[in-house]
Structure 1
Amino acid sequence: MSTTFLPKGGGYRNLRVYKLAEIIHDLTFIFTEKYIERGNRTKDQMIQAARSGKQNIAEGSEASVTSKETEIKLTNVAKASLEELLIDFEDYLRQHGFEKWDKDHPRLALMKTYVRSRRFMDNPLEYIHKMNSGEFCNLCITLINQATYMLRRLLETQQKQFLLEGGIKEKMYRARINYRNQILNNPTGQTCQTSPTDPTPQSTENTEI
């Protein structure tokens, strides 16, 4: 009789949004090392926001085992962190006189196709050495927009699961009721049993031949 009621947790490394967040973290580190002067608080804030996005996706996935509420909260923190990072990249473009590629910009469509490709996911650093800081910024902005969109969809799914299944207390209650019902339906817990056999061999002293 199974007594397990906790779902399997983790698996975040298989989420595309986690892989994107990991790439965003790496690219943000490279960008700030190259283009943000040492000692500027913005540099540390950008790296921390990128790290928070990645880490909270992972922590939310792990927390889902025992708390759907915590999973939702941490997923939302991840989204908020990436949105904060998005503003920093937009500020850089504006303050340094670069254009932000809007939805009608011809290069944005090409960029979106590229970052969705297997080639990019396998080697996201392939072309960054050819980019100026404005192009690098727009690459990061494109990735962040994709990641936050995916996190919004993930949050919707998590909220629906919570409404349908409840939290850990509801699951524990249902598991306990199901367990009790199984016991009531099989009160003795017996299977087919036979009488034990005496392992001592019988004496053959007076046996007739």
Structure 2
Amino acid sequence: MDNNKILLDGANWKKLRFYQKSEALYQMTFVFCERFLPKYGDRTVDQMVQAARSGKQNIIEGSEDGKTSTEMELKLLNVARASIHELREDYRDFLLSRHLHLWDNNHCRYEGMRKFTVAHNCLDDYEPFS
């Protein structure tokens, strides 16, 4: 270890799997809101897009702050986690308020989505917007 170093080595947040997923979640949420929610008069759109954005941006900020403060890194990553859980609940509310079926692991399409997710997780050289 270099004793003359002031900053810690931080993780490259672009390569973190949870950052990559949060980036995809933000993009999908933006498209979802444009397509399925009213453009005006519904604060849910702002809330969902902001929660998705907050999840992504707090991972970046936490990773950068982690170079000087592990405590701040953990706090910001927790904010990111909480934002994504908030967004998850918004999606759940969307389905339930429209009397749409919430899939569980017994649903006929669940296995296909799980396989898609596993395949996506196997991508090793993901470089978003480098």
TM-score bracket relative to the smaller structure? 0.7 to 0.9
Structure 1 residue runs without a partner (length 5+): 123-209
| Structure 2 counterparts to residues 32-111 of structure 1, below 5 A | 32-39=33-40, 40-111=42-113
Contact 1:9 1:64 in 2 (8 A): yes
Q: For residues 4-29 of structure 1, what are the alpha-carbon distances to aligned partners after superposition, in whole Å with 9 as ceiling and x for unaligned?
A: 25321240000011000000000000
Following the alignment from structure 1 to structure 2, what is the Cα–Cα distance between the partners of residues 81 and 57?
Answer: 11
- In structure 2, what is the Cα distance between the partners aligned to 1:92 and 1:79? 20
Q: TM-score, normalised by structure 2?
A: 0.86
Check the 8 A contact 1:114/1:120 in 2, yes or no: no
Identity %: 41
Q: How many residues align?
A: 122
Q: TM-score, normalised by structure 1?
A: 0.55
Structure with greater Cα Rg: 1
Tell me how far 1:119 sits from its aligned partner: 9.2
What is the root-mean-square deviation in Å for CA atoms of aligned residues?
Answer: 2.0
CA contact (8 A) 1:24 1:50 kept: yes
Match of 1:11 in 2: 12
| Whole-angstrom CA distance in 1 between matches of 2:23 and 2:84 | 12
Quick one: which amino acid aligns to residue 33 of structure 1?
E
Cα-to-partner distance string for 1:122-164 (whole Å, 9 max, x where unaligned)? 7xxxxxxxxxxxxxxxxxxxxxxxxxxxxxxxxxxxxxxxxxx
Q: Which runs of 4 or more aligned residues in structure 1 lie more than 3 Å from their structure 2 counterparts after TM superposition?
A: 118-122
Q: Which amino acid aligns with 1:111?
A: M
Q: Verify the 8 A CA contact 1:10 1:58 in the aligned structure 2.
A: no
Cα deviation, residue 106, structure 1? 2.6
